[in-house]
Structure 1
Amino acid sequence: MYRSAMEQLNKWKQKTNKKPLIIRGARQVGKTWLMKEFGKTAYEKTVYINFDNNPQMKELFSLDMRIDRIIMGIELYVGHKISPHNTLLIFDEVQEVPKALSSLKYFNETAPEYQIVCAGSLLGIALHQGTSFPVGKVEFMDLYPLSFTEFMRAMGKEQFVDLLDKGDFEMATMFRQDYVDLLKYYYYVGGMPEVVQSFVDNRDFNEAREIQECILAAYEQDFSKHAPNEVVPRIRMLWNSIPAQLTKENKKFIYGIIKEGARAKDYETALMWLTDCGLVHKVYRVTAPSIPLKAYEDLKAFKLFLADVGLLGCMVRLNQSVLLNGNELFKEFKGALTEQYVLQQLKTVKGVDTYYWTNDRGNAEIDFLIDTGNEVVPIEVKAETNLKAKSLKTFCEKYNPKMAIRTSMTDYKQEDWLLNLPLWAVEKKLSSF
């Protein structure tokens, strides 16, 4: 299965002064597979250590931080010598042994010749629990579910991806129905690797849904297993409220939807837990669309999205029959799936921060603003072909951005002040910024 993150890993390998790499991401987005595949294709040897329920490794790292002794212990554990320059060391579920996480500082300072890649589904949470973290001594990479482009490749449609890579939208438009059909599949299947692989192999929507349900059940088990007992009920309530939050006309997160009378301070820890797990993405409102957008964050106003559009469809029990009903799928639940889809593609565009904007009166909203570093680009998301863009026009008249994007089911078209972008081309076009 093609993952664009492999290119990032290969760039990391080529760096002269690389630091240990930590891959962050939600459970079951493919971190373990990616690390093993990277070792298989880019190194002569791979040493894989899973720290989950591994008392030997816990004891090894608990004694001291002498790297020569740690390496000797790992060699005894795996049964062969480790040659640092042609061996990839993989530390999986590294949050389970905090001292192993702390050791990365000493690997970087005293033994930088060892090439180490780490991952852990709950790593973000570990960093909030007093773990001695090697600040400045590691690098990070974020892994997300498969993007729509990666999904098309998995489906054997590389030529459709190549067409978008070339920017030949005139020819791509000739095959719009092929792209739309693939996009429908993606809305339902999503980008979780196990679900995608099952669908690629069997083309069975029921089987895909069963795997999604298993993933959601595993997340629920994580709540009970890893979160503080007193927070678990609030995590569950907040998590289960997300579909209702996204199917509102105004998708700003409202605590009162979780429970009548609920307040932000009661759910701060639960929200941080879900965010640190990578299970949800917060998109903050900005008070002004100026660079850098982060300086204008309104921390009290945000939207909350899931990691994957397929999991959102599973949570709302989206029936596969909607796939046969023209383009109704894109409008389901007040466009919630479409806004989730666009956010998911934006997350895969490296170096782009995502926000949203409303005016002071609250009668104009831009679904997403992205900060490219050089400019702010407003993006209006339309789930259908009704393209009245009153909010976008209001925004552009007031702030005069260099570029504005409206993404919908209509064809690609560059107008004076606006780029009409088909939903199926969102990721590829934004990657070129």
Structure 2
Amino acid sequence: MKLQRKALKTLKQWKTTPDHKPLLIRGARQTGKTWLVNEFANGQYDNIVSVDFMQRPSLSGIFEQDLDPQRIIRQLELAANQRILPGRTLLFFDEIQESPLALTSLKYFTEQAPDYDIIATGSYMGISKHGKTSFPVGKVTMMNLHPLSFTEYLDSIGQDMIADTIREGRFEDIPQALEPQMNDLLKTYMWVGGMPAALSAHLDNGIPQDVRTVQQDILNAYDLDFSKHAAYTLGERIRLVWNTLPSQLAKENRKFVYGVVRQGARAREYEEALTWLTDYGIITKVPRLDALHIPLPGYESLNTFKIYLEDTGILGALSGLDVNTLVNKSKLFSEFKGAFVEQYVCQQLVAQGIRPRYWANPNPQGNAEIDFVMEQGDEVFPIEVKSSSNIRARSLSYVCNRYGLHGIRIGEIGYRKQSWLTNIPLWCVDGLGEYLKRQIEKSRENPATI
């Protein structure tokens, strides 16, 4: 079976948009950026000219003389022994973070040679920290690539009709009879994760140990990058933070505590390490909200937050989750006291372009807490995640009453809409944003609905 990525549709839309700018795809290591571009180019262009600045660093010299697009094109044609024709050739700058001047050149391609189709890929960190060169602000189209979502996994195993229904947020159209099958597929996805190499290993033979070997290879690559891109002292702090993240998530309230990294540790010692990991693209920082009002950024706490990883499969490998857990799937939702499920939900929200936050009662006497909070339009939605069949929602009820909000409860439950609360199955999270858009539109037509 072959991986299916919804980003391919985005690339086709980019190509057919009149006067499109160069496309810059950012993403963490191993999220499949290079594969995506090559897959897209096949059938869309007469040829592709790939410039891999990591594999052939000498090609960066082409950009050092000046940034005249026509001269650059001529010299790249000679280096590749291929013609680069406007509209017929895709010019692919891979690992562009290794050539800051190539990144700057995109500005001049937009202004002086807009007929050429150019896609560049690079890491979050390398692109955001490109030294003294000028970033082509406003001269490129930006796109972020994340691990495959659950619906992309469904696409890849031939379940595209249910995947489309979930993505479109049409949960009410899904028959209850499918719930056992979907929960089983979700547990497989959560263990394997959405990293393309791990998912490909699973689709090739289904052997859990082969998947774990790939996941471990990815972790080893991360560790090498910690040394390559960070000074020794910072690199050691990055490792300490990274390796204790499973312990942070295993705590009851998930809140990141510096003392878990090292006894007596202070924020100023490890803030840079957290920033590095965020810029590298392998963690998501989820800040606490002190109130649930629009705009949410105005109510974020600067010092209190949770940390989730980029991928459930990577979390399982980093924590040493037993390979046999994939066989005994009944325990999967309860691992890390339910944090494995929260990790999955966070991952799916981020893949939709949603920035998750959480809420905790600022009153020291109160213990109410909401797992995630999201904005949709001018509405705020508190989200409670249930890792078991227990569907009590005391904190959610408290928050919805206090702030006059409609709550979302996600768990091993069927879809059901109530006056103040909507139940969403775990396997439908990838369509939550679209679902809420539809509900908001309906509520404007009929204020009695949400």
Q: How does 1:72-111 map to 2 (within 5 A)?
A: 72-111=74-113
Q: Give the structure 1 partner of residue 232 of structure 2.
A: 229
**AA paired with 1:321?**
N
Counterpart in the other structure of 2:380: 376
Residue 178 (structure 1) aligns with: 181
The reply on whether 1:7 has 2:19 as its aligned counterpart is no
Aligned with residue 56 of structure 1, among 55, 58, 63: 58
Q: Name segments (4+ residues, structure 1) moved above 6 Å.
A: none
Normalised to the residue count of structure 1, the TM-score between the two structures is 0.95
Q: Distance in 2 between matches of 1:42 and 1:125?
A: 27
Alignment: residue pair count? 431
1:162 deviates by 4.4
Of 392, 396, 411, the match for 1:392: 396
Can you give the 5+ residue segments of structure 1 that lack an aligned partner in the other structure? Answer: none
SS in 2 for 1:366: strand
CA distance in 2, matches of 1:300, 1:255: 11
* 1:312 counterpart SS class: helix
Where does the alignment leave 5 or more consecutive residues of structure 2 unmatched? 438-450
Following superposition of structure 1 onto structure 2, how do residues 114-263 of structure 1 map, counting pairs within 5 Å?
Answer: 114-121=116-123, 123-124=125-126, 126-127=128-129, 129-164=131-166, 165=168, 167=170, 169=172, 171-263=174-266
Q: 1:29 to 1:429 in 2, by over 3 A?
A: same
Equivalent position of 2:315 in the other structure: 312
The answer as to whether partners of 1:127 and 1:133 remain within 8 angstroms in 2 is: no
Q: 1:252 deviation in Å?
A: 1.3
Kept in 1: contact 2:169–2:434 (CA 8 A): no
What is the aligned partner in structure 2 of residue 65 from structure 1? 67
| Aligned with 2:304 (options 280, 301, 305) | 301
Match of 2:36 in 1: 34
Query: How far did 1:62 drift?
Result: 1.0
Q: Taking structure 1 as reference, are residues 39 and 82 closer, same or farther at Cα in structure 2, changes over 3 Å only?
A: same
Determine whether 1:426 maps to 2:429: yes
In structure 2, what residue type is equivalent to 1:150?
E
Distance 1:159 1:257, change over 3 A: same
Give the superposition deviation at 1:12: 1.4
Distance 1:64 1:155, change over 3 A: same
Displacement after TM superposition at 1:414 (Å)? 1.2
Q: CA deviation at 1:328?
A: 2.4
The 1:59/1:407 distance shift into structure 2, 3 A limit, reads same
The SS at the match of 1:112 is coil
**Residue of structure 2 equivalent to 1:18:** 20
Distance 1:128 1:82, change over 3 A: closer
Given that 1:353 and 1:372 are in contact with CA atoms closer than 8 Å, whether structure 2 keeps it comes out as no
Q: Which among 261, 265, 285 is matched to residue 282 of structure 1?
A: 285
d(CA) in 2 for partners of 1:168, 1:431: 10
Q: Distance in 2 between matches of 1:200 and 1:330?
A: 22
Given the superposition, is the C-alpha separation of residues 119 and 182 from structure 1 closer, same or farther in structure 2, using an over 3 Å criterion?
A: same
String of CA shifts for 1:69-125, please: whole Å, max 9, x gaps: 111111111112211122211101101111111111111121111121111135446
Amino acid at match of 2:242: W
Output the CA distance in 2 between the equivalents of 1:262 and 1:55.
40
- Aligned equivalents of 2:137, 2:173: Cα separation in 1: 48
